[in-house]
C-alpha cells in the first residue's frame, strides 16, 4: 500500500518561527480538510444504544507522511467543540489550526517524524455525520431522529478512520479534555492498536458539579422555543439561539480560571453606578458580563445546538473504571499491560483538575497498567490551558512521544 500523504496542500511551510508555545520549527502551512465514508449499508456502524448508522462520513486532516511500516502514526482526539483542523492554515477560511503551535517540522509533535491524524467527532456539525446532516432515508436533517451516542461509539469512528487510512496500529493517541476520554476508551476497546496514550486535562468520570453545568446548558437549549422539537433546521427557523448562547456561557465559565478572568477583565462596574433606569442597571455592565455575552454570540457563528446536545451528553455517562466496567478494563489492559500512559493536568483547572487526573492514574493502575505517570503543570488559564502558552507543556508532549 502507498503510504497516505498529508492533507497539506504543499510540502513547503508557509512560515517559520517559534509560535506562541516557544517551540522551534516551521508550521505545516496551508491545509485542507478531507472526507471519507467509514460506514455503509453493507458495513454499518453498530451503536451502544442498539441502533446502527448505515452511512457515516468523517472530516479529517493529516500532517506528515506515514512510514512504510505504519509505525509512526499519532492520532489527535479533539476537545468538545473542536474539529479536525488541528494544524496549518485552512486554504478556504484562513483559520489557523487549534494546535498549530505544537504541530509541524521540529515542533513538539514533529511532522518530520510523526504522521498525524485528526478526525472530527461523530455527532459534530463540523464535517462528520451528526444530527444536522441529512438522513439518507428521508433527505431531511436527522434532528432528534439521530441515535443516542456514547464515548465508545465516537471512538469506534476514530478507529474506522484509521483503518480507512491503512493504519492498523498507532504509536500514540493524544486527547485533551473530552478527547482524553476518547483516547482512553479507544485503548480499552482495542489495546493492541495503541502503543501509548496522552490524556490532557481529562477525566474518567464527571463530578456531579460537572454534570450540573452541562445539564443547565442543555436545558437552556431544550427550553428555547426556537428548538422546535429539534426540527428547526428542516423548518427553516432561526433555531434555539438564545438557549445555545446561554449554554456556551455556562460552559465557558468552567473553561477559565477565576484568576485569569480577574487579570483579563477586572471586576469594577461602569461609572457612574448605579444608572437611573432599571433596564440599564440589569443590562450587561461589568466587563465579565460583556465578555460572556461575546462568548455566547460568537459561538452561534460556528456551532449548532443539536450537535452541542449530542456531544455533551456522552460525557455524563463515561465511567470506564466504574463497578460495571472494571472487569472489562482489567481484561483490556492485560492484553497490552506495558502500554505507556501519560496523564497531564493544570493546577488552575477546576473543570477537570488534578483529582480527575489522579483518578485516571488510579484506574489504569488498578486495571493492571504498568507504565502510568502524572504531571501537573503550573498554568494560570484554567481548563483552556492546553490551548494556550504553558511553560514546559510542549516539551512534555514531545517527551511523551519518544
**Among candidate residues 309, 331, 355, the one where a domain is terminated:** 309
Does residue 23 have a pLDDT over 50?
A: no
| SS3 state at 160 | helix
Compute φ and ψ for 209, nearest 5 degrees.
Answer: -65, -45
Residues 90 and 181 in one domain: yes
The whole-number average pLDDT for the span 301-321 is 97
What length is written for the chain? 402
Residues 282 and 335 in one domain: no
Q: What percentage of the chain exceeds 90 in pLDDT?
A: 83
The whole-number average pLDDT for the span 97-120 is 97
Residues 341 and 284 in one domain: no
Residues 101 and 240 in one domain: no
Position 284 scores a pLDDT of 85
Does residue 25 have a pLDDT over 70?
A: no
Looking at per-residue confidence, does 258 or 216 come out higher?
A: 216
Peptide bond before 275: cis, by omega within 30 degrees of 0? no
Position 8 scores a pLDDT of 45
CB 287 within 8 A of CB 266: yes
Q: Is residue 239 part of a domain?
A: yes
The whole-number average pLDDT for the span 32-45 is 97
| SS3 state at 38 | strand
Does residue 1 have a pLDDT over 60?
A: no
Residues 303 and 327 in one domain: no
Distance separating alpha carbons of residues 228 and 128, to the nearest angstrom: 23
Compute φ and ψ for 197, nearest 5 degrees.
Answer: -120, 150
The whole-number average pLDDT for the span 103-113 is 96
Distance separating alpha carbons of residues 383 and 387, to the nearest angstrom: 9
Which of 12-16, 274-278, 307-311, 387-391 has the largest mean confidence? Answer: 307-311
- Report the 10 Å Cβ neighbour count for 148: 16
Closest to 305 (Cα-Cα) out of 254, 229, 235: 229
Does residue 90 have a pLDDT over 80?
A: yes
Residues 76 and 143 in one domain: yes
DSSP output for 331-376:
HHHHTSTT-EEEEEEETT-SSS-HHHHHHHHHHHHHTT-SEEEEEE
C-alpha torsion sign, points 366, 370, 371, 375: positive
Compute φ and ψ for 277, nearest 5 degrees.
Answer: -105, 140
The one catalytic residue among 177, 203, 345, 400: 177
Give the cell for residue 43.
Answer: 458495513
| SS3 state at 105 | coil
Verify whether residue 349 is a known catalytic residue.
yes
Give the cell for residue 385.
Answer: 490551558
Does residue 10 have a pLDDT over 50?
A: no
- Residue 24's pLDDT band (cuts 50, 70, 90): low
CB 400 within 8 A of CB 369: no
Residues 179 and 254 in one domain: no
- State the CATH number of the domain containing residue 301: 1.10.1740.110
The one catalytic residue among 85, 349, 356, 384: 349
Looking at per-residue confidence, does 272 or 300 come out higher?
A: 300
Q: Is residue 6 part of a domain?
A: no
Does residue 276 have a pLDDT over 90?
A: no
**Among candidate residues 249, 277, 309, the one where a domain is terminated:** 309
> pLDDT (tens digit, 9 = 90+) per residue, 196-213?
999 999 999 999 999 999
- Report the 10 Å Cβ neighbour count for 346: 28
Residues 34 and 183 in one domain: yes
- Report the 10 Å Cβ neighbour count for 121: 34
Position 165 scores a pLDDT of 97
Position 382 scores a pLDDT of 95
Residues 172 and 279 in one domain: no
Q: Is residue 13 part of a domain?
A: no
- Residue 11's pLDDT band (cuts 50, 70, 90): very low
The one catalytic residue among 85, 383, 384, 400: 383
Q: Is residue 11 part of a domain?
A: no
Residues 246 and 186 in one domain: no
Distance separating alpha carbons of residues 16 and 19, to the nearest angstrom: 8
Distance separating alpha carbons of residues 193 and 202, to the nearest angstrom: 21
Give the cell for residue 394.
Answer: 510542549
Which of 96-105, 264-273, 281-290 has the largest mean confidence? Answer: 96-105
Residues 328 and 186 in one domain: yes
Q: What percentage of the chain exceeds 70 in pLDDT?
A: 94
Residues 301 and 354 in one domain: no
Domain of residue 287, residue span = 210-309
Distance separating alpha carbons of residues 45 and 149, to the nearest angstrom: 11
Q: In this structure, what DSSP letter does residue 225 have?
A: G
Q: Is residue 304 part of a domain?
A: yes
Position 264 scores a pLDDT of 80
- Report the 10 Å Cβ neighbour count for 342: 21
What is the domain count for the chain? 2
Point out which residues pair with 60 in neighbouring strands.
34, 119
Distance separating alpha carbons of residues 343 and 200, to the nearest angstrom: 6
Compute φ and ψ for 334, nearest 5 degrees.
Answer: -60, -25
CB 300 within 8 A of CB 288: no
Does residue 18 have a pLDDT over 50?
A: no
Amino acid at each position: 500500500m502507498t503510504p497516505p500523504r498529508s492533507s497539506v496542500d504543499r510540502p513547503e511551510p508557509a512560515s517559520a518561527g517559534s509560535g506562541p508555545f516557544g517551540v522551534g520549527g516551521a508550521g505545516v502551512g496551508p491545509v485542507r480538510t478531507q472526507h471519507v465514508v467509514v460506514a455503509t449499508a453493507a458495513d454499518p456502524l453498530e451503536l451502544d444504544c442498539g441502533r446502527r448508522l448505515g452511512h457515516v462520513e468523517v472530516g479529517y486532516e493529516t500532517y506528515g507522511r506515514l512510514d512504510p511500516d505504519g509505525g509512526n502514526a499519532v492520532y489527535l482526539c479533539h476537545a468538545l467543540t473542536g474539529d479536525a483542523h488541528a494544524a496549518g492554515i485552512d486554504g478556504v477560511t484562513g483559520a489557523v489550526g487549534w494546535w498549530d503551535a505544537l504541530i509541524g517540522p521540529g515542533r513538539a509533535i514533529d511532522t518530520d517524524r510523526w504522521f498525524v491524524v485528526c478526525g472530527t467527532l461523530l455527532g459534530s456539525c463540523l464535517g462528520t455525520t451528526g444530527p444536522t446532516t441529512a438522513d439518507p432515508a428521508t433527505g431531511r436533517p436527522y434532528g432528534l431522529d439521530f441515535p443516542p451516542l456514547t464515548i465508545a461509539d465516537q471512538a469506534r469512528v476514530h478507529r474506522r478512520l484509521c483503518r480507512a487510512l491503512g493504519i492498523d496500529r498507532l504509536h500514540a493517541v493524544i486527547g485533551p479534555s473530552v478527547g482524553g476520554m476518547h483516547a482512553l476508551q479507544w485503548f480499552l476497546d482495542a489495546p493492541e492498536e495503541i502503543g501509548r496514550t496522552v490524556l490532557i486535562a481529562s477525566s474518567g468520570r464527571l463530578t456531579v458539579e460537572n454534570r450540573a453545568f452541562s445539564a443547565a446548558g442543555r436545558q437552556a437549549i431544550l427550553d428555547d422555543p426556537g428548538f422546535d422539537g429539534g426540527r428547526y433546521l428542516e423548518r427553516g427557523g432561526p433555531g434555539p439561539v438564545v438557549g445555545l448562547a446561554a449554554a456556551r456561557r455556562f460552559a465557558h465559565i468552567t473553561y477559565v480560571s477565576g484568576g485569569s478572568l480577574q487579570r483579563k477583565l477586572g471586576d469594577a462596574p461602569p461609572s457612574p453606578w448605579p444608572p437611573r433606569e432599571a433596564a440599564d442597571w440589569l443590562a450587561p455592565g461589568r466587563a465579565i458580563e460583556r465578555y460572556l455575552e461575546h462568548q455566547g454570540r460568537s459561538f452561534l457563528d460556528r456551532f449548532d445546538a443539536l450537535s452541542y446536545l449530542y456531544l455533551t451528553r456522552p460525557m455524563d455517562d463515561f465511567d470506564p473504571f466504574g463497578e460495571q466496567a472494571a472487569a472489562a478494563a482489567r481484561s483490556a489492559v492485560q492484553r497490552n499491560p506495558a502500554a505507556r500512559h501519560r496523564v497531564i493536568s493544570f493546577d488552575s483547572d477546576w473543570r477537570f483538575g488534578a483529582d480527575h487526573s489522579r483518578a485516571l492514574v488510579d484506574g489504569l493502575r488498578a486495571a493492571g497498567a504498568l507504565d502510568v505517570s502524572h504531571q501537573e503543570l503550573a498554568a494560570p488559564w484554567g481548563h483552556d490551558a492546553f490551548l494556550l502558552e504553558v511553560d514546559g507543556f510542549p516539551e512534555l508532549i514531545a517527551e511523551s512521544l519518544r
